[in-house]
Each structure stands twice: as C-alpha cells, then as structure tokens.
Amino acid sequence: MTRLFGVASAAMQIEGAAGTAGRTASIWDVFATLPGRIEDGSSPARAADHHARWSTDLDLLAALGVDAYRLTLSWSRVQPGGTGPVNPAGLDFYDALVDGLLARGIEPWVSLYRWDLPLELMLEGGWLRRDTAERFGDYAAAVAARLGDRVGAWASLEDPFPHLALGHAVGVDAPGLTLLGGALPVTHHLLLGHARATAALRAAGAGRVGLINHHTTVRPAGPSGRDRWAAAFYDEYHNRQFADPVLLGRYPDRLLALPGVPDGVIADGDLAAIAAPLDFYGVSYEHPVVVAAVPENRSVPLTLVPLEGVPRTAGDLPIDPPALEQVLVDLARRYPHLPPVVVTTGGAFDDRPDGDDRPRIAFLDEHLAAVDRAAGRGVPVAGYFHWSLLDGWAGTPGHVRTGLVRVDPDTLERTPRAAFAHYRDLIAHRSGDTSVTAPADRPARS
C-alpha cells in the first residue's frame, strides 16, 4: 500500500436529511432530543446538508487534490431498522457518491459504522445483544454486493472505543448507557460485528479490509504507585480493549476481571474470527491523556486530569503532536505483525475575523511531522487522512469547526479555509519518497 493523502468525514456529522429518502432514526437522532444532552442544543437533522450538496462537496475534494476520501455509511439509510430489505434510495445515494469520487480520480474508502446504530436495533438491546453483530454482518454483505466492485478500502468499524466508553460506559454520548465495567459485552459484540462484516466483505471479493481504532498516550498524573496503576489500567482500557483482540486474539486480563462482566459472552471461535488478518489498521488520534487514581471512588477509581502547558483546540483539547509519534511507535512495538497503518487526526479551531488560519495549519503540519518521525522509526505508515473536509455536527459538542472547509451554520455556504490551500499545496508538491511532512516554511502557531 503506497503512502496516500486524504480527508475523512462521517455520515452523522455531515449528511443531514435525517428523515429523507427512507432513512429511519438512529440512536443519535433520539439522543439529540433529550434536554441538556447536546451542548449547543442542535441536532443532526440538517448537519452540513451533504445529502443534498454532495456533488459540490466532491468538487471541493477534487480541488483539494486528495488521493482518497473516507466516508462512513448511515446504517439507518441503507437498511432502515437495521434488519430486512435494503432501502434502494439509500444505496443509490452512496452509489452516486462512489461513482462521483471515481470520476474525479479519488479512491473511495468506506467505513460501515461510526456510532449511529439504527434505533430499532437499540430498542431490542443494541450492542448488548449478540444478534446485533449478526445483523451487522448482513448489512455489510448488502453494501458489498452493491459497492464492492468500486470501493478501494473498507473499514468495518470506525472509532469503536469512544462509542463504547462514552456511549455505553459513562453515558455522555448516545445511547446514554452507564454500564461502567459491565460494558464489556458491548465491546465483544462490536468486535464480533467486525468479524462478521470482514468475512462478508471477503466473501464478496471486496478490496482491502481493516478497522479504524482510537489510540492515545496515557501518562500518570504523579509518581505514586496508585497513579501508575491507574495509568496502566487506563492504557489497557483505551488502547488495548479493541486492539488486543484484533491484533493478538485475546483481551487484556484486567478487563476480563472487571466486576459486572457476565459469563458466556465470549463463545468458542469468537476470538479467532475477530483476529482474522487485516490489510490495514487505522489509528485515530486526538490528544494525550493524564490519569490520576481516585481510590475512594469504588465504581471508577481513576479520573482524567488536564494536561497543562500546551496549546489547546477550540474544544479545549490539548495539542501535543509528539504524543502522536509515541502512539504509533508504541503500537508497532506492542504488535509485531502490525498491518500498514493509516493515521487520522484533526482539531476544531475558531474562525478569526481576519481569516487567520495559522493555528489550524500549524496543527496539520506538526502532526504530519509526527507521522513522519514515527515512519522513520519503523512504523509501517501507509497514509494520512485529515479530519475533516467539512465543519459538521459532532454529537455531544453539537456543531464543530473541524473542517478544511467552513460551513456557514445558517446558509450552509461552503468556504475553503486557508488550511485547505495549504494542504492542497502540500499534496501537490510532495516528493516521490514516502514523506508526508509539510514544507519547511510552515507558519508558526499563534
């Protein structure tokens, strides 16, 4: 797999058209109606209106000059209710997207699932039920039958860790469950769904198949043994809960020992199916994590504390590009047979009245440099996807400004930011080697 440049987006964040052309409700459509759940009170009903403006958005991709575009599919748009016949209008939409990308010389990368479970499946138990994994395999087979001859690469799941932790363990994201350590069945059924989808894609003769997972560095807040234990546990919880089964065929021991994990969740043959070989492994990175022990809290005996002394995004997330390098190096050391790695990162930044986009440009350049350093240390980096093409609706935070293209919240007009031109020039002037580093005259962050 050659080194490639791309951008990524997610169906829930940009499509809108929530009740259009046969799409039924997902868990996020309902969650967004609950008072106080979405910070700005918005919903995904309109988002960036990509469903109606997709051709314009593909023209922007062509102007950007990317090799590939990674999109996610809305399960509720393709298969209303998550079972039964597919929705022809839903598949027609994605069929047109794929053909439109190919017509513009852009390779389609498709993720089957990123957090937006059909509501009807949730009402039957969602990812707590093993049957949801089987239904996910059926959905994958239906999509592959329609799009499999033209999609360059497939991800079964995209960022399952935040979906598990925020949506099912602590309940701040959809579907709002607070299972804490008892959420391991959700993890296992998501991974079993990955196995069923991977098998369906392989059977259909689809292209490259992988999984995209969320990773971070984890640091203890202090030198105490309790803080070090808390950091080690959280590293297993965040970084290894999904990666170990996929890449090693087993779960970390400490996770299996959590209270509330029921017997009989893992059936014979499950882990072997989950660990089937992949063609690539996607790494999503946002920011490092600092962990402190809270022994008096028996249900969750640790907490995440702010990382001080570094710049921050508009979402108040710490910016620490060297941590991305460390994430990638640690991953390659932990998993000797790591497939080619595709990296995704991005951040939200406020628009300045003068159009100054230097913080976003610096973020892009510094993280690309971190990816290059990791590649120089032996990590099999295959590509980079910037998050994201468009501003969009990001769930609990509401509307966010992560896009290389600004989307006016009222008119939905698209306006490329300065970082768009910067990334375009970086792609156009790359050399023939495997570097993804930006030009040396990168602007300073201010």
Over residues 267-278, mean pLDDT: 98
Residue 248 Rama label (left phi>0; alpha psi -120 to 50; beta): alpha
Is 1.10.10.10 the CATH number for 4-428?
no
* Burial grade of 129 (CB within 10 A; 0-12, 13-18, 19 or more): middle
**How far is the C-alpha of 35 from the C-alpha of 374, rounded, in Å?**
44
**How far is the C-alpha of 446 from the C-alpha of 444, rounded, in Å?**
6
Inform me whether the pLDDT recorded for 52 exceeds 70: yes
Inform me whether the pLDDT recorded for 434 exceeds 50: no
Please give the distance of CA 289 from its chain centroid, rounded to a whole number.
18
User: Which pLDDT belongs to residue 299?
Assistant: 85
Inform me whether the pLDDT recorded for 44 exceeds 50: yes
User: Which pLDDT belongs to residue 31?
Assistant: 98
User: Which pLDDT belongs to residue 1?
Assistant: 41
pLDDT tens by residue, 72-126? 999 999 999 999 999 999 999 999 999 999 999 999 999 999 999 999 999 999 9
Over residues 37-49, mean pLDDT: 97
User: Which pLDDT belongs to residue 446?
Assistant: 45
For 150-277, where are the alpha helices, taking DSSP H only?
A: 160-164, 184-203, 225-235, 243-248, 253-256, 270-274
Over residues 135-161, mean pLDDT: 98
Least confident of 29-33, 262-266, 268-272, 381-385: 262-266
Residue spans of beta strands (DSSP E) within 206-358: 208-214, 218-220, 280-285, 289-293, 302-305, 341-345
Amino acid letter, residue 213: N
What is the reported pTM? Answer: 0.96
Give 292's strand partners. 303
Rounded to 5 degrees, what angle do the CA atoms 293, 296, 298 make? 90
Residue matched to tokens 């990368």: 109
Inform me whether the pLDDT recorded for 159 exceeds 50: yes
> Residue 414: enclosing H or E segment and its boundaries?
strand 414-416
**How far is the C-alpha of 176 from the C-alpha of 170, rounded, in Å?**
7
User: Which pLDDT belongs to residue 431?
Assistant: 52
Name the 3-class secondary structure at 160: helix
**How far is the C-alpha of 344 from the C-alpha of 366, rounded, in Å?**
13
Query: Above pLDDT 90, what percent of the chain?
Result: 91
Domain locations in the chain as residue ranges: 4-428
In order of 172, 302, 315, the CA distances from 166 in angstroms are: 5, 15, 16
pLDDT tens by residue, 319-373? 999 999 999 999 999 999 999 999 999 999 999 888 899 999 999 999 999 999 9
In order of 196, 199, 205, 240, the CA distances from 276 in angstroms are: 10, 9, 16, 17
Over residues 266-283, mean pLDDT: 98
The gap between the terminal CA atoms of the chain, to the nearest Å, is 36
pLDDT tens by residue, 173-206? 999 999 998 999 999 999 999 999 999 999 999 9
Q: How many C-beta neighbours within 10 Å does residue 180 have? A: 15
What lies within 8 Å, CB to CB, of 420 at 6+ separation is: 60, 64, 404, 405
Give 72's strand partners. 111
**How far is the C-alpha of 277 from the C-alpha of 284, rounded, in Å?**
20
Inform me whether the pLDDT recorded for 298 exceeds 90: no
**How far is the C-alpha of 226 from the C-alpha of 294, rounded, in Å?**
9
* Burial grade of 230 (CB within 10 A; 0-12, 13-18, 19 or more): buried
Inform me whether the pLDDT recorded for 2 exceeds 70: no
List the structure tokens of 140.
């994958």
pLDDT band, residue 238 (cuts 50/70/90): very high
Inform me whether the pLDDT recorded for 374 exceeds 70: yes
User: Which pLDDT belongs to residue 3?
Assistant: 87
User: Which pLDDT belongs to residue 443?
Assistant: 41
